[in-house]
Chain A
Amino acid sequence: MPLQFDSAYNKRKRALQQAMFACFRVLSYSIVLVLFIILGFILVKGVSVINWNFLTQAPTDGMTKGGIWPAIVGTFYLMVGSAVFAFPVGVVSGIYMSEYAPKGKLVAFIRTMTNNLAGIPSIVFGLFGMAFFVNYLDFGDSILAGSLTLGLLALPIVIRTTEEAFRDIPSSYREGSLALGATKTQTIWHVLLPMAMPRVITGLILSLGRVSGETAPILFTCAAYFLPKLPDSIFDQCMALPYHLYVVATSGTDIDAQMPIAYGTAFVLIVIVLLMNLVANAIRKHFEKKLKQK
């Protein structure tokens, strides 16, 4: 039978396929569109207040004027603080789960619990932070208490990415090292950790990007409504961008003056988170290139 390229059946089939693809295409593009709409909305509304003073000065006149500098600094402190806590604890737990813990029910249980931890609403973390760090350990409302609470929030992500990063290393690298007479610890330290590092770092940065936008956990543990000066120690309260945004947007007296500031704050926050995601991406790409060079 000769080839028939133009039978009615084939035409119908091709038309259906094209319709399906068009549908998929529209749906995927619309996601990007939504992102751009949000960004554009924030940008249009908030860009008018962005200037050098806005970024480098404290709020004045009951938050109707001035800048957001203390909030930027506070967010930075909280991110560094939570990283200092979450990184070592998370990486060590991740390594333990991937490399040391006997495979079986225990690890499966820990993994489930870790995932559950990630699923707990962030306001619950805030409540726990207040009860445990602020009151029980008596840190008071402080950067320390806020960092630890945010660190707890970041922990599941760090643990999971670390564990996955280690588990995805082909066992031949472990065996290659052990076969040379290296101990397990030497193998982890000299071979596996360098290989897993890009993914671990990426996971950490992504989790920090996430915690930097959290309001609830710092609500009861750290964030200050307004501070005229920067914090002096980790036992001081601090301002933070998301909380500042919340405060400016909800409890103001002069809505017309404050809304642009709220949008400006939101814009800065989004830029910080996006920047961190970009940095995470760049780091991953950089290391991947280094590792996969062939």
Chain B
Amino acid sequence: MVKFVENELISIKKEIHDMWTLVYEQLDNAYKSLLGPDVALAELVAAREKRVNAFELKIDSDIEDFIALYNPVAVDLRFALAMLKINNNLERIGDYADSIARFVIRTEFKPEDRELFEQLKLSQMYETALAMLKTTFESLEQQDIAQAKSVFEFDETLDSINDQAISVLVDYATRHPESVRLCIELAGVFRKLERTGDHINNLAEETIFYIDAEVLKHRRTAAPAQPEA
């Protein structure tokens, strides 16, 4: 019995690993396409979004089968539940990567927009999000709770950059009325990255729940109020 369960656990873990790698690539490519700007890369990201969605459904159904057929308990049950939620959170992050890519596809950037990006600290925002995603991934791989917990601090960086970005964008739109649309869209990108941060927090929480059975979700009083996406 242990053997069957072990095999199933390994295969679910492998799927989550692949899903995570895929979503990280999506987010990273969306970033690169935005910096480029690189419409071809953005189109690739948009095309791959279907794959992310299909993968999510497959993992969901595999975990459902696992629970139905093997009746996991204790650490195995926590694993199954954690992976189920990690899967859903990853899919949402994939969605954000997709919408950023679509923003790149439909927008014609001007050379001076690059300065705006600088002011907005876009790179810092984006790289922080990517780093969080990567750190959480590694903490799961290495079952390292401390590393997973370290992710929570980055989230505040995202929040503050996002807050500042709104002011910068309001200011910029006032001075460049022809760029209002761009500003609104960029505000959306920042909000998505901020939401991505929240989802990564969830990933870290689920990772810790699985490793330590520690339900941190409602204990972190410092958690920022989550704005609706």
A–B contact with Cβ pairs below 8 Å: the answer is no
